[in-house]
Amino acid sequence: MSESHHSNNRMKGLEKGPILVTGASGGIGAATVRQLVTAGAEVVASGRNLEQLKSLSHATGCRTLPFDLTSEDSVREALENLDVYGVVNCGGFGGEIATPMDTDISVFDKVISINARGALLVTKYTSISMIRLGKGGAIVNVSSQASLVALHGHISYGSSKAALDNITRVSALELGRYGIRVNSVNPTVVMTEMSAFYWGRPEIGDPFLASMPLGRWATEDEIAAPIVFLLSDGASMITGVSLPIDGGFTAA
């Protein structure tokens, strides 16, 4: 019974090679690792919190490979000889809540360096191995609804994710000839520790949810499931998209 149930969870295409997940010590990243392993993938997990990575590895059997997203040397050393079929760029930094008038440019620089530059570096070095292996591949960048519409206080975060969406589109254009697909997912708020300090305030969160058709916060698993789908053969004709997972917020 359990064996047949497990095989039912397997998704075609995820067995083609290891899948690297950055930001795996965070909520969405860890949920993605768990769902990928359940779906039959071999997973390599990277993240900042080494203790959480270790416990995730114990729970799922994933390999761990921590590196510094802000350092090209660190990314290169970790990834240039790593054979992968898929990548989830989930490493992210929330930065600050600020307007263009009072933003701290050093925080802006850090947000850009992790959310956009870091994902580009990972794409740079993993795509080299994907091309060499010649089996195609799939990359999913975890973006945000903040790249699609203007949100108060999100000058740094929204800008970094808009840059990430363009990295997605251009990478899809350049890598398509090798059978490598590149997509973004653009989640609404998941009530993690990172987001609760802002979105958890009633004066902020209540009117936001009131304007969203589904009217509730997303769960980590609701973001992870479309990521897993985009890595699978079920999405074999999908590339270059930014997929809102936002309860209809950006459509309303």
Longest dimension (CA), the chain: 60
User: Going edge to edge, which strands form the sheet with 180-187?
Assistant: 63-64, 43-45, 19-21, 86-89, 137-142, 180-187, 242-245
Which member of 85, 125, 157, 198 is catalytic? 157
Q: Which residue is listed with tokens 């799922």?
A: 60
Write the DSSP assignment of 147-160 as a string of letters: GTS--TTBHHHHHH
Instruction: Please give the radius of gyration of the chain, using alpha carbons only, rounded to the nearest integer.
Output: 18
Q: 37, 14, 32, 42: which is closest to 90 by C-alpha?
A: 32
Q: Is 157 a catalytic residue?
A: yes
Could you list the active site residues?
Answer: 157
